[in-house]
Chains A and B, each alone.
Chain A
Amino acid sequence: MSYLAESLKEKGNIAFRNGEFIEAEDYYTQAVQKYSRNPLIFTNRANVRLKLQRWDEAVNDSLKSIEITGPNGQNHKAFYFLAQAQLAMHHPHEALSSALTAYDQVLHPSPTAKISPRDMETFSNFVLRCKKAKFEIRDRDRLRRQGDLRAELEETLDINKQRDLDDVSRRLEARELGPVEASERNQEILSNFEKKIAELRTLFAVADPTNHKPREIPDHLIDMITFEPMHDPVITKNGHSYERATLYEHLKRSPTDPLTRDPLTINDLRNNFGLKAACDAFWESGASEWIADW
């Protein structure tokens, strides 16, 4: 039985690589019916269901895969797919916790784990996205409770955006749209949304500069390579700190300190716990202003 499942899974993988997502999902489903104890089949089906924007089912498949590998088993991909589905469903809190688990599992992998070279950077970026989403939602909530008009308008835009995205997902499921077209629509919706938010904020900033000024993220919390706020900073011998994933990426190409060009390897790096605490404090701080420079 497991042999049959394996060959169906392979067919699914081939279909997936060719962008035939509906066919791929079908192969994985057949594979699961033959043999349901292989976590990889569920992980792969979760991935294809993300492409088909069927978030609920992607969550179920990821959880099923994690259930098979056990609570402490290495399954970073499933946690990453879970995080993506949760974020798409507007649950940044849960998404962050899943993304952190995925990140932690590639940072401290089990000896037999298969890790792709890009995983760490990808997961690190995703942790950041979840943190931003969480920060923005909480911030908007707080402002709305204070009866802030801008927060209310932003929320309306957000609801409209979500409705449009859901509509795309629904039409994708009804096969009125292909996966490529659907993902193009989604990008259009998201970029329109961002433009409108930016415009709204500019208007408020002009009309009422004291209460609606943008806030800059302090420089010491910004990674000098990506210009993004850090969440897992490491410190070099000369005392400068960088986001772990991006510095690892640089060291792969050139084992030198980015500032002094002295030899530097991953083993020379240390966690910067103090700075990490400062970064966490920033993420927890909430802001009465929006962040100017995400």
Chain B
Amino acid sequence: MAGMSSKRLQKELTKIQGTLPPGISLVSAPDLREWQMDIAILDNPIYPPSDHYRLRFQFSQSYPIEAPEVVFMAINSNPERKIPLHPHIYSNGIICLDLLDSQGWSPVHNVESICISIQSMLAGNTKAEREFDSIRLLWLDLGGLADC
């Protein structure tokens, strides 16, 4: 029911406004349906620690029973935000991460744990490339879904 998602998000927001792990920060949460977070990767030369990447979270009424929709956003200026290079991140910002699809999601995850997972997915990366994009285009050509 609607009550559950807004209460839980209100509580997550209160917690997030307190403390967050290094490299993760809340940019805005204008309402309880869409939040933006910035993450920085601290120890991987592919991603300079001064670069921040913008994540957009969109929550349905059924959150946290259903996963939120999480994508990277590209912003041209003020401040500039790029889509990080990673084999599992498309150039349009869509992220292939098991915990974000309906099979891998669990309601014990939360915004903070998702940010940490994405952060560590980038921190452990060794290839500054998007090898998935070619596959995705092929899929689209075949009329398939751009799902991983």
Contact = CB atoms under 8 A, between A and B. Distances in A.
Nearest to A245: B4
B12 interface: yes
A258 B1 contact: no
Interface in B1-47: 1, 3-4, 7-8, 11-12, 14
A256 B105 CA distance: 10
Interface in B97-114: 102-103, 105-108
A226 B106 CA distance: 12
Given A228-B8, A254-B106, 9 more contacts: A121-B4, A225-B64, A225-B108, A227-B8, A227-B12, A246-B107, A253-B65, A254-B102, A254-B105
A86 B3 CA distance: 20
27 contacts: A118-B1, A121-B1, A121-B4, A125-B1, A125-B3, A125-B4, A224-B107, A225-B8, A225-B64, A225-B65, A225-B108, A226-B7, A226-B8, A226-B64, A227-B7, A227-B11, A250-B106, A250-B107, A253-B65, A254-B103, A254-B105, A254-B106, A256-B106, A258-B106, A258-B107, A258-B108, A259-B106
Contacts of B65: 225, 246, 249-250, 253
A194 to B, nearest CB: 11
B133 interface: no
Interface of A: 118, 121-122, 125, 224-228, 246, 249-250, 253-254, 256, 258-259, 261, 293
B11 A246 contact: no
Q: Which DSSP category, helix, strand, loop or mixed, fits chain A's interface?
A: loop
Size range of the chain B interface in the assembly: 10 to 19
A18 B7 CA distance: 28
Interface of B: 1, 3-4, 7-8, 11-12, 14, 64-66, 102-103, 105-108
Contacts of B7: 226-228
Contact of B66 (A227, A228, A253, A259): A253
Contact of B108 (A118, A224, A253): A224
Contacts of B12: 227
Contacts of A250: 65, 106-107
Nearest to B4: A226
Nearest to B104: A261
Looking at B3, B11, B64, B106, the one whose CB has the most chain A CB atoms below 10 A away is B106
Contacts of A249: 65
- The 4 nearest A-B residue pairs measured at CB: A225-B107, A258-B106, A227-B11, A258-B108
Contacts of B11: 227, 293
Contacts of B64: 225-226
Contacts of A256: 106
A246 B3 CA distance: 12
Nearest to A227: B11
A118 B65 CA distance: 13
Given A225-B64, A249-B65, A250-B65, A122 B1 contact: yes
A193 B14 CA distance: 19
B78 to A, nearest CB: 33
